[in-house]
Amino acid sequence: MPKISIIVSVYGAEKYIERCVRSLFEQTLDDIEYIFIDDCSPDHSIEILNRVLVEYPYRREQVKIHLMARNCGPIARFYGLNLATGDYVIYCDSDDWVDKDTCQVCYSKAETDSLDVVFFDFDVTNGIVHKIIKRQPAIQNKKILLSQLISGRLMGSLCGALVRRSIYLENPLIYPQYNMNEDLALLIQLIHYARSYGYISRPFYHYFKSPESITARGTKEKAVINYNASVANFELLHPFFESNGYFQDYRQEFACMKFRRMNTLALYAQEVDVRDLWRKAFHELGYRSFFNPFIPVNDKLICLMTLTNIYKLVYDYRHK
């Protein structure tokens, strides 16, 4: 059984996938299983993957490439769990890359301290500017850790965590079906069922923020689609949250989540159809949200500017 299964969803990444797979194949840990999910990529990504793999013959037997029957977007990588056999699972996006000792250090930490989950930091970059995201999870207190995730104070990406595979196999997880906040929806459940957590204060993961990214600023239509997808993913989890008392225990954190999600529509809220959607979300939260200590001041300011119809003007001025 491999020590770690690395799952990579591949779609439209021909510009970046070589950098990604080289960082994975050059891991200092030998006992790794690589699972690449071809999400019906329309470009030469898989061809590039196979070409690079020739240069690493000792990795050939460790690689699985699976073609999806249809394009599923980011949630396609969850299919990789069906193929994984490693003790632990880690995800990597095909336009990102990791440090060469990521698996070795994280695996050693997990085994030495008997951990179900090991968090680490992010380097967010456009290729020129780098910003280090320090996660600093509350690893000694599950309730605070969940509070951090739900409120958005802790980046809810599965790419920044090594997770024991048995946590996926032995618990009734509800898998997200839509491509927005899908990692967060699943990570909350994994933390709920896990028993022990660790943290390594190093930015092992390099998140490439390209203009083509699904999460980059796009059109009004994309903003609405992403908003509705996020809402739908968390509606799927409603039974899980309700049965475990989350709505009572994390009431303000969920309000913060909804508030920040609402703000993703702010740039287009002057247009009638989006305005109606935004106002509906705001009315559910109410003005009491401005007294919620979990909501960052910047998000409250965005909301106030949206209410007074000046947010787009301010945004456009600052991004000239």
Q: Which residues contact 110 (CB under 8 A, 6 or more apart)?
A: 88, 116, 118, 162, 164, 198
pLDDT in tens, 221-251: 999 999 999 999 999 999 999 999 999 999 9
pLDDT in tens, 162-174: 999 999 999 999 9
d(CA 79, CA 319): 39
The least confident of 28-32, 110-114, 212-216, 255-259 is: 212-216
pLDDT in tens, 63-119: 999 998 888 877 788 889 999 999 999 999 999 999 999 999 999 999 999 999 999
Predicted TM-score (pTM) of this structure: 0.92
- pLDDT band per the 50, 70, 90 thresholds, residue 214: very low
- The yes-or-no verdict on residue 319 having pLDDT over 80 is no
The least confident of 31-35, 49-53, 134-138 is: 134-138
Cα 40 from chain centre: 21
Predicted confidence at residue 316, as pLDDT, reads: 84
d(CA 7, CA 214): 19
Q: Across the chain, what does the average pLDDT equal? A: 93
d(CA 143, CA 192): 9
- pLDDT band per the 50, 70, 90 thresholds, residue 215: very low
In contact, 116 and 40? CB cutoff 8 Å: no
Q: Which residues contact 13 (CB under 8 A, 6 or more apart)?
A: 20, 41, 43, 45, 94, 95
